[in-house]
């Protein structure tokens, strides 16, 4: 039996990268997936097509998670399409890699608006609109423990996500579990952009497997957390980083 039969799952930021891999794997395991994007319609539709070609069920809903009204519409349209929402996966995020002194006010606002306010917005909606005994998975990052130069603001946003995860897990009730997953360096366009081979090799050598994670490595952990097998885990940050930290 598939692990997620008939579960309805929102995956924010699932047009590409880790989110895309997560959406495809969850659909393969029986989930009905809402693919969310903010400005990647072509990629989102491609993800939906891949799922449908594999016999799965998916719809695409555009919504900028930093926009409260758009997030309300994301949840309402999902409920209209499927009648319920069982799992929320907060994967949408953005990263600007600069020394703290070089970040502009816009850089600060961009990262906090998407990475922190975005999850704040979805958690507020989930409080009343996620089904009883549902599951919430927020994306953090192992950079919160690495203290890497140029990651001050990004790491700060993810530290905020981790703290919201711990507190909200005790607030929401109704049998809903709330956890965060903290991937390490992963082969995605977002991560690889602007990095030299030397930087990538150095980051690869810092974990126990001497390689970057593949998106599927992260997706498999999300699959477990999205299934009822994980229900006694709540309020936790799960490091998915190959012993990086």
Is 227 among the catalytic positions? no
Helices (H) and strands (E) in the chain, counts: 10, 7
Is 151 among the catalytic positions? no
Distance CA 43, CA 20 (A): 9
Please tell me which residue in 40, 66, 78, 140 is annotated as part of the active site.
140
Please tell me which residue in 40, 141, 227, 230 is annotated as part of the active site.
141
For every residue of 76-120, DSSP letters joined together read HHHHHHHS---EEEE---------GGG--HHHHHHHHIIIIIHHH
Could you tell me where the beta strands, DSSP code E, fall in the chain?
A: 8-11, 32-37, 57-62, 87-90, 135-139, 177-183, 237-240
Distance CA 72, CA 85 (A): 13
Please tell me which residue in 20, 40, 154, 177 is annotated as part of the active site.
154
237 beta partners:
180
Which contiguous run of DSSP H or E holds residue 61? Answer: strand 57-62
Distance CA 49, CA 41 (A): 12
Relative orientation angle of helices 118-129 and 68-82, to the nearest 10 degrees: 40
Please tell me which residue in 158, 177, 227, 234 is annotated as part of the active site.
158
User: DSSP character for 11?
Assistant: E
Which residues are annotated as catalytic? 140-141, 154, 158
């Amino acid at each position: 039996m598939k692990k997620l039969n008939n579960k309805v799952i929102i995956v924010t930021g699932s047009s590409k990268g880790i989110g895309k891999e997560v959406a495809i794997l969850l659909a393969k395991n029986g989930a009905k997936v809402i693919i969310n994007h903010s400005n990647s319609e072509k990629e989102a539709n491609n993800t939906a097509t891949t799922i449908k070609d594999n016999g799965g069920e998916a719809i695409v809903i555009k919504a900028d998670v930093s926009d409260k009204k758009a997030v309300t519409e994301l949840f309402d349209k999902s409920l209209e399409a499927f009648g319920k929402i069982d799992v929320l996966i907060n994967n949408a995020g953005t990263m600007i890699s600069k020394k703290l002194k070089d970040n502009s006010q816009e850089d600060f606002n961009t990262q906090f608006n998407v990475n922190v306010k975005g999850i704040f917005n979805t958690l507020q909606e989930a409080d009343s609109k996620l089904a009883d005994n549902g599951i919430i998975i927020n994306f953090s990052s192992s950079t919160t423990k690495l203290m890497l130069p140029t990651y001050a603001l990004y790491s700060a946003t993810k530290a905020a996500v981790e703290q919201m995860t711990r507190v909200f897990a005790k607030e929401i009730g109704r049998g809903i579990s709330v956890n965060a997953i903290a991937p390490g360096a992963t082969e995605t366009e977002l991560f690889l952009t602007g990095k030299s081979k030397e930087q990538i090799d150095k980051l690869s050598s810092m974990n126990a497997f001497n390689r970057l994670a593949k998106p599927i490595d992260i997706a498999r952990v999300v699959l477990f957390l999205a299934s009822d097998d994980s229900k006694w885990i709540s309020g936790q940050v799960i490091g998915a980083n190959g012993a990086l930290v």
